[in-house]
Structure 1
Amino acid sequence: MAGDHLDKALSDPSAVYGQPSDVLGDERLSEAQKVEVLRRWESLASSEAVALEEGMPGEDSELLTDILVALGKLTGPLDLDHTGPSKAHGLPRSAIRSTGKS
């Protein structure tokens, strides 16, 4: 059952959680799994931000900020000076400090 929950959370985080901070309180996930869910959500939100920039309709851009705040609570300060190679940039793994917990 936990695998199904994780799979759904990774595939569509907003369908499982109302807001990024809800991921932090999910006791079914390890800290590493929470980071992966938030990274996925960040990737999706970044893609949506690019779509908005290109004139496509989308949701509130505050979501990306909320995701980064939640990730920072899990892993400590993020290195936002580094971005991914795509137009959506995304948050590279090197920007997230591992806590060593799983």
Structure 2
Amino acid sequence: MTQAASELDFEAALRSPKSCFAEPQDVVAHPALSREMKLAILREWEQDARRLSASEGEGFYGGEESMLGRVEDAINLVRRQA
């Protein structure tokens, strides 16, 4: 995780998840975020990953071919949590 739990700016994380978290799993494990907050951040990250995937399909390569799968896995994990 790139920020301590007490320093997380939710709005910044929502705008740019990759600037606040190294991996989607870091969102899942963050102790200061509610389930709804985690899902909101991960859904934004998912949209970013989908845009990147579409760009790669057009010949632009970002080097993060597995990010969409990791984000989807993290979303599913949060959905299963109580």
Root mean square deviation, CA, Å? 1.8
Identify the residue that residue 14 of structure 2 maps to in structure 1.
Answer: 10
Cα displacement string for residues 4-61 of structure 1 (whole angstroms, at most 9, x for unaligned residues) = 7111111110111110000011122111000000000000100010001001121221
Alignment partners' CA distance in 1, 2:11 and 2:30: 14
1:44 aligns with 2:54: no
1:61 matched to 2:69? The reply is: no
Q: Give runs of ≥4 in structure 1 deviating > 6 Å.
A: none
Distance across 2 between alignment mates of 1:59 and 1:44: 13
Where structure 1 has 5 or more consecutive residues not aligned to the other structure, the ranges are 77-98
TM-score between both structures, scaled by the size of structure 1: 0.68
Structure 1: distance between partners of 2:63 and 2:51: 12
Q: Unmatched 5+ residue regions in structure 2?
A: 1-5
Q: Distance in 1 between matches of 2:63 and 2:42?
A: 17
- The number of residue pairs the alignment matches comes to 76
Relative to its length, the structure with more helix (as a share) is 2
- Alignment partners' CA distance in 2, 1:12 and 1:59: 18
Identical aligned pairs, as a percentage? 25
